[in-house]
Structure 1
Amino acid sequence: MLRWVLFVIVYVVLSIYVLQALKTAARQPWVYYVYMFLAALVAVNFIYQFTIGEADGRVLSVAKSYAFGFLLTMLTFKLITILFLFSEDLFRFFSGGYEKLFGASREFSMPQRRRFLSSIALGLAAIPFGALLYGMYRGKYNFKVLKYTLEFDDLPDAFDGYRITQISDIHSGSFDNRKMIEYGISLINKQKSDTILFTGDMVNNKTEEMEPWADLFATLQAKDGKFSVLGNHDYGDYIPWETEALKRQNLQDLKDLQKEMGFDLLLNEHRYLTKGDDKIALVGVENWGKGGFKKAGDLQKAVSGITDADFKILMSHDPSHWELEVVPDEKHFHLTLSGHTHGMQFGIEIPGWIKWSPVKWRYKHWAGIYKEKGQFINVNRGFGFLGYPGRVGIWPEITVITLKKKSLT
């Protein structure tokens, strides 16, 4: 209860502070009333969804996710506005103090707010405000197909030109638009890759989240099959369970559902993809992540029976696994496919110019292709979304990787 009281106090103080900028910049009273109504509506909805409206044990239902998203949008608008207002208020305060100490009247009087500064503050705050709203309305389903060609000296000849489609982080519990998911599925199938590899986090917490979408993902097709691994959210670790038996059953149900959808789930094991006499080893580990994330992955178990000469593709949900265990391993993993980071669902990307997201401060390898010690990793930005129900600048990704034999000339 205390946390909600503190939340309301802080929120009201911030709202009143921003109201001063609106009163300075706008002369029409209806603007103030609309602002106060929206600010109150967002706060009331957020409190309701996370208290009375919490109908089940899921961390973020669709309704709660939107409540969080709207609150984040409103707070971003407020904080950017306040940053400018506070800077001006410091100047006004010191000006008033100077006038009292050295002025002719010797009275403390702060100068009036300058209208153009309030207008600039509101204008700048409106940019991320609009971007976050767009991210919830359109950005979260703005699927992008990213294509890479990777060359290897020792790629088996029969696999020259082999195409892999990677998807990751479906987070089906967050979906709210079947038509757009159908569109995303159609984009995947249009790539006509040899195989489809899914690198974990099919659900937010519960298998039942995937059930309304299972028929769509079952239509994914690739001539050499569909393979998958588990991500940290697939284990159901982030919600309370009445018994451990229910939690274990939830995980087993997810494994069974993946099989029903046509995925070959790799649990610290491997398969061989073959073309004539040539083959590549497809290795899949359970989740292994730094910073408190589950470490169920067993790389040595997964590669048991694989020779050093085999060409190896590893599926591992968390890219920190690649950095800490895969690259240093004595076996050479030619290509690792990961996800997990979502690119934080927020950032700026202009191909060839800039790639930035706050998540870079948490993960060294957070989006796209990286190479160390002759080994590649692709970190997929994710198909779905979690928490904030949108994406800004970091769009949902379908990755197509073409393997090529490096020319000797």
Structure 2
Amino acid sequence: MSRWVVRILIVVVLVFLVEFYAFQAITTITANKIFLFSWLFIGLAVYVYFFYIVLTYSRAKGQTKEFQWAVGLLITVLLPKLFIFIVLFGEDVFRGILKLISVFFDSETKSMIGRRVLISQFALGLAGIPFVAFIYGIIQGKYNYKVLKHELSFKDLPAAFEGYTITQISDIHSGSFTNREKIVKAVSLINKQQSDLLLFTGDIVNNKAEEMDNWIDVFDKLYAKDGKYSILGNHDYGDYNEWESAADKANNFKKVKEIHQKIGFDLLCNEHRYLQKDGEKIALVGVENWGKGGFQKKGDLKKATQKVSKEEFKILMSHDPSHWDAQVKDNDFNYHLTLSGHTHGLQMGIEIPGWFKWSPSKYVYKQWAGLYQEADRYIHVNRGFGFHAFPGRVGIWPEITVITLKKA
């Protein structure tokens, strides 16, 4: 039996157990047939819809909104039941231990019926928290834009750039948008920051250039006094789409790059630009995507920094934060500040600003959201402007970052 089949069987068994325990919790607290039937019907409908979309899904169309909704509904329905499973399975383990004690020590155990009802009520109440959170995340959370501000001090920052402000956005993923009014307001919020410089760190579409067609007139309103600069992300290459020919893919990539010009961004593909102020300058370096694992590794630091000296102050735009660990943070060329995106913070997690930050994304990326520092070098990982795969955000909100440069 192949590993693939074994993995599927494991998933099927786990899902069955989760559904079994969740239904057991419901039957413990109610015998209402209409309620029980509705519970089963809704669960079955979500699974049927998910598998129908997956089995009929064409990669030639890119990631559709139907696919996103199928994933979103499945997570919204299944994840809360996982909480029920954990609680009730834990109680079953406890009951089993008590049973073994009674057998080996010939003692009696008290009835657990009352406790089972109480535990089921607790499990359902606990499951209600992620259920409500995911419903909110799909309806409103994905447009709950947050402006996060950081002040960063550097001893070798040119004096003319004291107090210089940079707004960073990342991962627009225009193919996922559904609410024009919300996006217009978000663009207005970006402009409201009145930063000196606006930087976009990749993934303007999900797969196809045409996804941006209806949003050009929105994003071309973005403004920054000293200009707008951008780079490519892993989704911009069209690698997650089936194309009729290599020429079609190449043509789409060409159009994706042209989008940046249409909305007024200077796209840096392994290039650099100098930002000048009062006779002093800093180097803005932008590389193509470089990511660990199976991602594109087209980022070329040496090519991007031709004619840039080691001593000059540098800001690097690199979409995937894994690039920082692999090639940037210990580079003798000294990249003072790196700006990345890519992770989205998995679009779900728990954050209490200044106290606590957690997402499953942390188990994939060492730097997955926010600001990180090693020695005198920084990386900031933007949580993303848009959304992808899951049509919402829970706890990890869409981000507009404002960074102020200070001289130490």
State TM-score, norm by structure 1.
0.91
Q: Which AA in structure 2 matches 1:80?
A: F
Counterpart in the other structure of 1:28: 32
Distance 2:346 2:320 in 1: 14
**Native 8 Å contact 1:95 1:111 kept in 2:** no
**Native 8 Å contact 2:29 2:117 kept in 1:** yes
Counterpart in the other structure of 2:361: 359
Query: 1:307/1:111 Cα in 2 relative to 1: closer, same or farther (>3 Å)?
Result: closer
- Residue 7 of structure 1: how far off its partner (Å): 7.5
Aligned pair partner of 2:120 in 118, 121, 125: 118
Whether 1:243 aligns to 2:245 is yes
**Native 8 Å contact 1:80 1:121 kept in 2:** yes
Distance 1:228 1:164 in 2: 13
- Please give the per-residue CA displacement for 1:95-118, whole angstroms capped at 9, x wherever unaligned: 66777898799xxxx965721111
Helix, strand or coil: the match of 1:50? helix
Distance 1:328 1:15 in 2: 48
- Residue 57 of structure 1: how far off its partner (Å): 2.4
**Native 8 Å contact 2:59 2:240 kept in 1:** no
Distance 1:9 1:370 in 2: 40
- Residue 94 of structure 1: how far off its partner (Å): 6.1
Helix, strand or coil: the match of 1:57? helix
Distance 1:318 1:104 in 2: 60
Query: 1:55/1:156 Cα in 2 relative to 1: closer, same or farther (>3 Å)?
Result: same
Q: Which AA in structure 1 matches 2:64?
A: S
Helix, strand or coil: the match of 1:205? coil
State TM-score, norm by structure 2.
0.91
Distance 2:164 2:102 in 1: 76
Alignment of 1:65-144 (within 5 A): 65-92=68-95, 112=113, 114-144=116-146
- Residue 249 of structure 1: how far off its partner (Å): 0.9
Query: 1:48/1:9 Cα in 2 relative to 1: closer, same or farther (>3 Å)?
Result: farther
Q: Which AA in structure 2 matches 1:24?
A: T
Counterpart in the other structure of 1:44: 48
Alignment of 1:338-377 (within 5 A): 338-377=340-379
Helix, strand or coil: the match of 1:170? coil
Q: Which moved more, 1:25-34 or 1:282-291?
A: 25-34
Q: Which moved more, 1:36-45 or 1:165-174?
A: 36-45
Helix, strand or coil: the match of 1:68? helix
Helix, strand or coil: the match of 2:383? coil
Counterpart in the other structure of 2:402: 400
Q: Which moved more, 1:228-237 or 1:366-375?
A: 366-375
Q: How many equivalent pairs are there?
A: 400
Query: 1:335/1:11 Cα in 2 relative to 1: closer, same or farther (>3 Å)?
Result: closer
Query: 1:373/1:94 Cα in 2 relative to 1: closer, same or farther (>3 Å)?
Result: closer
The RMSD of aligned alpha carbons is 2.4
Counterpart in the other structure of 2:169: 167
Query: 1:344/1:101 Cα in 2 relative to 1: closer, same or farther (>3 Å)?
Result: same
**Native 8 Å contact 1:143 1:396 kept in 2:** yes
Q: Which AA in structure 2 matches 1:213?
A: W
- Residue 282 of structure 1: how far off its partner (Å): 0.7
**Native 8 Å contact 2:59 2:242 kept in 1:** no
Distance 1:209 1:380 in 2: 22
Helix, strand or coil: the match of 1:262? coil
Helix, strand or coil: the match of 2:60? coil
Counterpart in the other structure of 1:389: 391
Distance 1:200 1:299 in 2: 17
Query: 1:48/1:372 Cα in 2 relative to 1: closer, same or farther (>3 Å)?
Result: same
Query: 1:209/1:114 Cα in 2 relative to 1: closer, same or farther (>3 Å)?
Result: same
Q: Which AA in structure 2 matches 1:64?
A: F
Identity value in percent? 54
**Native 8 Å contact 1:311 1:333 kept in 2:** yes
Aligned pair partner of 2:267 in 265, 280, 288: 265
Distance 1:240 1:284 in 2: 28
Distance 2:105 2:271 in 1: 79
Q: Which AA in structure 2 matches 1:62?
A: K
Q: Which sections of structure 2, spanning at least 5 residues, go unmatched? A: none
Counterpart in the other structure of 1:185: 187
Q: Which sections of structure 1, spanning at least 5 residues, go unmatched? A: none
Alignment of 1:289-304 (within 5 A): 289-304=291-306
Aligned pair partner of 1:146 in 125, 130, 148: 148
